[in-house]
Amino acid sequence: MTRRAATAALVACAGAAALAGCATSPPQPDPVQLQLADLGTRLTRVERVVDNRSLLDLSNQLEATRADQRTLHNEIDELRHRLDQERKRDLAQYADLDARLKKLEAEQGAVGGAAGAADQSGSPTGAGSATGGGSAASDQSAASEPSAGSDQSAGAGQSAASDQSASAGGAASSAAGGDQAAYQAAFDQLKSGDYTKASTAFKRFLADHPNSDYAPNAQYWIGWTYYVNREFEPALHAFQAVVDDYSTSTKVPDAMLNVGYCEVELKHPAEAKRVLGEVVAKYPGTSAARLAAKRLAEMRAESR
């Protein structure tokens, strides 16, 4: 074999070996694909972290909302407690007013006895004395009107005063029918704060004594027992019955005022404004008109 042939054979063997080695070696991965895979893994990890933080934020917000809700509930409970205390204090003031007016009634009775003696001589001072006694009771009621923590309580204070004043003025005619004691028993239930029993007692009074001088007062206080229990629909009807059935009663201005209050609570602002405006127009200078004007001003401020 010549030297050239041997060299050619060696070259051929080396090429065959190289081809064989290339056939058995695995392909190298693409660096770009490796980087993309790494970025995808890191992005997934970041998304999980972000999701976890969002859930944590939502949880914190929910807990904060619950805390605010608990605070609001506590404040509502405190306001209700204060309102109950104010109502009890007002009723205690009414009881004191009642005792003072009863003293006036006793004095009125003494004056009436003297007037009766004068009547025997032909003088008409008997009726005049009774009227004077009623006016004195009204004056005492106006002077003793209790202050209150809300318009509604103030309205009740005015009504309680006029209630006792009406009792003083009509005591002589009512006592003959035996209705005064029944009315006073129902009113005592109201002053004690037992509104359910008071409502039942006043309804029984109206059934037993429909023509009593105290009938308008009893109907008014039925409405009030509904109102303090936040039963505004029946309260409205009860107060409206005072306006419709006892149009000459001194209870009418306060009853109309509370009709307006009920309309406010029932979310009937247009009707509430109409009724309250009517109170202001029909009964100027009264406590009912003053409270109605105040509530109207508040409603106008709230609507701005």
Give the per-residue pLDDT at 133: 35
Least confident span in 16-30, 117-131, 193-207: 117-131
Q: Does the pLDDT of residue 254 top 90, yes or no?
A: yes
Q: Does the pLDDT of residue 105 top 80, yes or no?
A: no
Give the per-residue pLDDT at 243: 95
Q: Does the pLDDT of residue 245 top 50, yes or no?
A: yes
Query: Could you give the CA distance from residue 184 to residue 40 in angstroms, rounded to a whole number?
Result: 87
Give mean pLDDT, residues 273-281.
95
Mean of per-residue pLDDT scores for the chain: 74
51-72 pLDDT, tens digit each = 777 777 787 888 888 888 887 8
Please enumerate in sequence order all residues whose Cβ is within 8 A of that of 4, keeping only pairs 6 or more positions apart, or say none.
Answer: none
- pLDDT tier for residue 113 given thresholds of 50, 70 and 90: low
202-219 pLDDT, tens digit each = 999 999 999 999 999 999
Q: Is residue 291 within 8 Å of 272, Cβ to Cβ?
A: no
Give mean pLDDT, residues 166-185.
63
Give the per-residue pLDDT at 109: 60
Give the per-residue pLDDT at 119: 47
Q: Does the pLDDT of residue 235 top 90, yes or no?
A: yes
Give the per-residue pLDDT at 218: 95
Give the per-residue pLDDT at 25: 57
Residue 285 φ/ψ region, left for φ over 0, alpha for ψ in the -120 to 50 degree band, beta for the rest: left
Give the per-residue pLDDT at 148: 33
CA torsion sign for 80, 194, 266, 93 is negative
Q: How many residues are recorded in the chain? A: 304
* Domain map (residue ranges) of the chain: 81-302
Least confident span in 30-34, 90-94, 134-138: 134-138
Query: Could you give the CA distance from residue 219 to residue 159 in angstroms, rounded to a whole number?
Result: 12
Q: Does the pLDDT of residue 124 top 80, yes or no?
A: no
Give mean pLDDT, residues 84-90.
66
Q: Is residue 290 within 8 Å of 157, Cβ to Cβ?
A: no
Q: Does the pLDDT of residue 277 top 60, yes or no?
A: yes
CATH tag for 81-302 (out of 1.10.4080.10, 3.30.420.40, 3.40.50.300, 1.25.40.10): 1.25.40.10
Most confidently modeled range among 11-15, 96-100, 186-190 = 186-190
DSSP assignment of the chain equals --HHHHHHHHHHHHHHHHHHHHHHSPPPPPHHHHHHHHHHHHHHHHHHHHHHHHHHHHHHHHHHHHHHHHHHHHHHHHHHHHHHHHHHHHHHHHHHHHHHHHHHHHHHHHHHHHHHHHHHTT--HHHHHHHHHHHHHHHHHHHTPPP-SSHHHHHHHHHHHHHHHHHHHTHHHHHHHTHHHHHHHHHHHHHTT-HHHHHHHHHHHHHH-TT-TTHHHHHHHHHHHHHHTT-HHHHHHHHHHHHHH-TTSTTHHHHHHHHHHHHHHTT-HHHHHHHHHHHHHHSTTSHHHHHHHHHHHHHHHHT-
Q: Does the pLDDT of residue 104 top 90, yes or no?
A: no
- pLDDT tier for residue 79 given thresholds of 50, 70 and 90: confident
Give the per-residue pLDDT at 264: 94
Give the per-residue pLDDT at 1: 53
Give Cα separations from 155 to 6, 140, 146, 176, 235 (angstroms).
131, 17, 10, 31, 14
Percentage of the chain lying above the pLDDT 70 cut: 60
Give the per-residue pLDDT at 199: 94
